[in-house]
Each structure stands twice: as C-alpha cells, then as structure tokens.
A and B are shown apart, each in its own frame.
Chain A
Amino acid sequence: MTTAKTINLTLKVWRQKGPKDKGKFETYQAKAIPTDMSFLEMLDVVNEQLTLEGKEPIAFDHDCREGICGMCGTVVNGRAHGPEKGTTLCQLHMRRFSDGDTIAIEPWRAMAFKVVKDLVVDRSAFDKLIQAGGYVSVNAGGAQDANSLPISQEFAEKSMDAAACIGCGACVASCPNASAMLFVGAKVSQLALLPQGRPEAAQRALSMVRKMDELGFGNCTNERECEAECPKEISISNIARLNREFLKAGLFSSVK
C-alpha cells in the first residue's frame, strides 16, 4: 500500500456555544490530512486534536456518512456541501483541496434553521412541512397485484427522482432567498405524480405552502442555486410542478 498524499489546511470554523450565543469564527490548523479522507473525517481529526488540548470539539451533524441520510451539511467556502457537484458533505474528499488552502466552514443560514451549536442547525422546520401534508393518509395495505394499478414508466421515474430528496436542507442554505421551494416541490411532486397521492393533492399543496410561509422561509425567485447545489440533483421542474399544483388547488379546486 502506498502512503497517501497529505495536505495542511487552515480552517476558519463558525463556533457558537448555543442558540443565544453570538458566535464567531475560530481558526484551526489541520495538519497532515491524507487526501483520501472525507471532509467529515478531517473534522474528526481536528476534533481529536481539540479534545487532547482540553478544548470543546466542533459540533457538526452526521449519521450515515454515505450520502443517504441527509444529516450532514455545512457551507464550505460559500458552497453548500462543498465544491463537489451532486454530493453530500460526507461524500466530499479532501483531494478536492490543495496544500495550504484556507477553508471557511459555516452552518446553514436561514431564519427557519436556527443554529443549535457550532455547525449544527435545527431542521425541524422540514418535519413540520412534512406534517403539514407530505404524506398519504390512507393505509396502503399489503402489496397489490402487479399491474392492478398501471403507472407509466415516465411518471414512476419522475416520482422516484423527486423522492431521492434526503431532506438535508442544502437547497434552503444555498438559496439566496433561503426558500424551501425545492424541498417542498420534491415532496409535493413525489406524491402528486402517483395515483395514491392524487386524492389529497390539492389539500397537500395548499397546506405545505402555507406552512412554508409561516415557518419563515423566503420566496423563490428562480435563481436555480438550489438545483445546482442539491446533492441529489433534484430539478427545479419540481418547483414548477408545485406552482401548478398550488395554482390548481388555490383557484380551481373546492379545497379552501
């Protein structure tokens, strides 16, 4: 086995003791970081060093570390989940950086996502959005006979593409307006495209959009930064579908 290439980095990390603390950037040196490491492993190394020095380690969210759970995520040099396209922060490798780089690490910033500690933000606003309508009420029961409910390949694919959303919040974080339209668009689309989701489609669109406004998310101005940053590359055509579903529900359905 060949020894991996290593790099030295300067980190400027947002440190904030709690939701009420003002918070500030602290500078740390990350020395001899193997380029094969993931970004989170690099933070682990820094945290071990901080612990040995008797300092408080940097708090950051993570769970699966393979890009499927949606827990990780910080803004790295101004980019949500870092500079790599279509990946979560846990999938970002240190080979993406060069020796001597300075890396600024900030939490997701949005009115609706309050900082809990350091890089950890409270994303329960997303849970509230799902509770507002991101479900199908009727118990689907056991598996149906194949072909008893014909669904075209095209619709199934589009629905699956929307369902790839892992609820990480990068869309909100990268949106210049801190809008949650890509997330809500993905959730509404995923259900609106399948027959099981249709009966409640109007109510869902109205409730989720009203909840989104109430939670303090911004207004979409079609900047497309969300689509460019989303680790699952969810398309803004889902936002257009949300707009359609909302328009239909608000003006042409009997649901109030």
Chain B
Amino acid sequence: MNWFVNTLGTSIGKKLMMAFTGLCFCGFLVVHLAGNLTLYGGKDFFNGYVAHLHSYGPLINVAELILLTLAIIHVLTGTFLFFGNLSARPKRYAVNKSAGGRTIGSATMPYTGFLMLIFIIFHLFNFHFADHATQTVFDIVSNAFAAGGYVTIYIISMVIVAIHVSHGFWSAFQTLGANHPKYMPLIQGLGTAFSLIVGIGFGFIPIYVFTA
C-alpha cells in the first residue's frame, strides 16, 4: 500500500483528496437541502421527514461517520495545502495584480473553508446536539430562527458556502482531470447554478421561519 500513500501524498494526490471529498460534500448538500425544503410543508410535514430519516437508525450513524471522516480529510488536507502554498512563496510581491484568472471564490477558498468549519461546529451544537427529548426538531428550528441574530449568522454562512462551491465545483472536475472542451463550459455553468441554488435554497429557510 506504499504506492497508494505515495500517490496521495504528492501535491496532486492531496488535490485529488480535496476534489473527491469536496464533491461528496456537494452531494451531501443536495440531500440536505432536499430534506430541509420540507420545512415549507409546515410542522407536521417536516417532523414527518425527520422521523422518516431517523427510522433508518444505524444507517444514519454510518452516514454521519463517513461525513465526519470526509470532513477531517478535507479540512486537514486543505490546511496542509494552505501552509504549503504560503511557504512556496516566502517573499511576497510588493505589487499584486490579477491577470483575470482568479475569482472571488478561487481567491478565498482557505478562508471561506475555515469560516465554514466554524459555522458547521456552531450549526451542529445548535441543532444536532440540541435537546431532542422535550422538543421536536421543528421546535428547535423555529425557536432558533425566532432570533434575528441566528437568522443573520445563517444567511451570511450560506453566502460563504455559495462562494466556496462557486469555485470548488468546477475546480474539483479540473483536479480529477475532467477538463473537456465540450463539457467544461457545462460543468462551470453547473457550478455557478449549484452555488446559487445552495446559497438561495438554504439561505431563505431562516428568513421563511423568522417571518412565518
């Protein structure tokens, strides 16, 4: 297995891990968003979805463990890449000017990533580790989003997620070697659409609950 570690340990190998885990998270976001949209169906519909999800029992625990492992790989590898890139240019330029290649998303990947990490921990403590014995998940959500502060934090966080995936999505395909003259424009378009759907889809839920 030495060859496997050697391959993944290189710069391209680390990038492949970022791309693979990142795309898995994109898949997770789709499922998570689809589930959350049941909130628009009202209290019973949403609690019904939650009950249905929890009826999978151990499968859910396995999925959580997989997500946690992917998250640890994504965050640790991203941190290694970030510090590696800093040391690859010990003396910075006095004047910096883009030639037009980078975007807001690409230029801020490590920072949006770090902010997302903080948000994810905050989010888990808000909902996942909340008291589930005396209240339904719908109660937890509507209590949280009754506070304007929470709504603001969540909206800002969703903008950050959208910025991260606006670059991450197509970048992952490029890293996996899937750059094709026929499909690349489509992949880039999909990436933009996906980041908008994620940002708006998740971002409107707190507003909806707050105003409902």
**Interface on A for B, CB 8 Å cutoff?**
12, 25, 75, 77-80, 85, 104, 106, 109-112, 174, 176-179, 209-210, 212-213, 216-229, 236-237, 239-244, 246-247, 250-251, 256
Q: Complex Cα distance A12/B93, Å? A: 13
Q: Is the CB of A176 within 8 A of B107?
A: yes
Question: Does B97 belong to the interface (CB within 8 Å)?
Answer: yes
A79, A111, A209: the one within 8 Å of B12 (CB):
A209
Q: CA of A236 to CA of B98 in the docked complex: distance in angstroms?
A: 17
Measured CB to CB, the nearest residue on chain B to A239 is B174
Q: Given the interface contacts A209-B11, A219-B11, A237-B181, does A111 sit within 8 Å of B84 by beta carbon? A: no
Sample 16 A-B pairs with CB under 8 A, ordered by A number.
Answer: A77-B97, A85-B99, A106-B95, A111-B90, A177-B89, A178-B89, A213-B11, A216-B88, A218-B84, A220-B12, A221-B15, A222-B175, A223-B102, A225-B99, A228-B99, A243-B177
Given contacts A176-B107, A225-B99, 14 further A-B contacts (CB under 8 A): A79-B99, A218-B11, A219-B11, A219-B14, A219-B84, A220-B11, A221-B15, A222-B174, A236-B179, A237-B179, A243-B175, A243-B176, A246-B10, A256-B6
Which residue on B lies nearest to A240, using beta carbons?
B179
Pick from A177, A222, A250 the residue with the most CB of B within 10 Å: A222
Which chain B residue shows the least CB distance to A251? B7
Partner of A78, one of B91, B97, B184: B97
> Does B94 reach chain A (CB closer than 8 Å)?
yes
Q: Given the complex of chains A and B, what is the CA–CA distance between A209 and B16 in angstroms?
A: 14
Whether the pair B92, A221 counts as a contact (CB closer than 8 A) is: no
User: Which residues from B are CB-within-8-Å of A110?
Assistant: 88-89
Cα of A218 to Cα of B81 in the assembled complex, Å? 8
- Closest A residue to B81 by beta carbon equals A219
The answer to whether B16 and A221 touch across the interface, beta carbons within 8 angstroms, is no
Whether the pair B177, A250 counts as a contact (CB closer than 8 A) is: no
Contact, CB under 8 Å: A247 / B84: no
The residue of chain B having its C-beta at the shortest distance from the C-beta of A170 within the complex is B99
Chain B residues with CB below 8 A from A220, complex form: 11-12, 15, 175
Q: Provide the residues of chain B in CB contact with A236, threshold 8 Å.
A: 174, 179
Residue positions of B touching A, CB distance < 8 A: 2-4, 6-7, 10-16, 81, 84-85, 87-102, 106-107, 109, 167, 170-171, 174-179, 181, 184
Most A C-beta atoms less than 10 A away, residue of B90, B97, B181: B97
For the complex, give the distance between the alpha carbons of A75 and B98 in Å. 12
Do A224 and B85 touch (CB < 8 A)? Answer: no
Q: Are A225's CB and B93's CB within 8 A?
A: no
Chain B nearest CB, measured from A102 CB (Å): 10
Bound: A219/B100 CA distance, A? 19
B177–A244 touching, CB < 8 Å: yes
Tell me the complex Cα distance, A244–B19, Å. 13
A residues within 8 A CB of B16?
Answer: 243, 247
Partner pick for B109 among A78, A209, A221, A256, CB 8 A cutoff: A221
Contacts of B3 in A (CB 8 A): 250, 256
- Closest Cβ of chain B: how far from A89's Cβ, in Å? 14
CA distance A79 to B167 in the complex (A): 23
Instruction: Give, as a whole number of angstroms, the nearest-CB distance from B171 to chain A.
Output: 4
Given A78-B95, A224-B101, A218–B177 Cβ distance below 8 Å?
Answer: no
If A78-B95, A250-B13 touch, whether A218 touches B101 (CB-CB below 8 Å) is no
User: Complex Cα distance A239/B10, Å?
Assistant: 15
- A177 partner residues in chain B, CB cutoff 8 A: 85, 88-89
B93 and A106 contacting across the interface, CB-CB below 8 Å: yes
Which residues in A have their C-beta under 8 angstroms from that of B81?
A: 219, 221
Measured CB to CB, the nearest residue on chain B to A85 is: B99
* Across-interface contacts of B14 in A (CB, < 8 A): 219
In this complex, which of A85, A106, A241 has the most chain B Cβ atoms within 10 angstroms of its Cβ?
Answer: A106
Q: How far is the CB of B61 from chain A (nearest CB, A)?
A: 30
Q: Which of A179, A210, A246 contacts B88 (CB 8 A)?
A: A179
Chain B minimum-CB-distance residue to A220: B15
